[in-house]
Amino acid sequence: MKNLVVYYSLEGNTQYVVDKIKEQIGADTLRLVPKKAYHDKGLAKFLWGGKSAVMAEKPELEAYEVDLSAYDRVIFGFPVWASNFTPPLRTFIEDHAAQLQGKHFAAFACQTGAGGEKALEKLAKSVGIARFEQKAIFLDPKAKQSAQKDEQIRAFCARLAE
């Protein structure tokens, strides 16, 4: 199965997991970059990012090229913001709704606190599916690296490779 990881990463935790997935299952990757960057420090990071996620905003993204017909499965990756998936994914899903039809889907969330399950449920609904074939939640995989967290990522990749 040919895999594409579509993701947004603010602080590097999601990027860390994406790099592991690419290394372990050979997935292609598409990093979504908003034209207007989100704050990545202090209170503004939480206020603006959380507001943007709760209000279901769809930011304009930097240009990218992708041929979704080349992929069987799309794996979404994102940091959790206010129990939601990040807005750049919302833009991608809306822009490619027709091309996503009939694909297999998996997803992972990176979080510091809680809300990952709710965020994954909201993402599945946005994609138009009842549930993901595979899903995972990782707690600060880069910021607080450990052998146990890397093993959780390996287990997720093994399930993707089945």
Domain ranges within the chain, ordered by starting residue: 3-161
Class for the domain spanning 3-161: alpha beta
User: For residues 157 and 2, what is the distance between their CA atoms, to the nearest angstrom?
Assistant: 13
Average pLDDT value for residue range 52-59: 74
pLDDT at 43: 56
User: For residues 158 and 155, what is the distance between their CA atoms, to the nearest angstrom?
Assistant: 5
Average pLDDT value for residue range 50-77: 87
CB 50 within 8 A of CB 81: yes
pLDDT at 95: 97
**Which pTM was predicted?**
0.93
Task: Say if residue 12's pLDDT is above 80.
Answer: yes
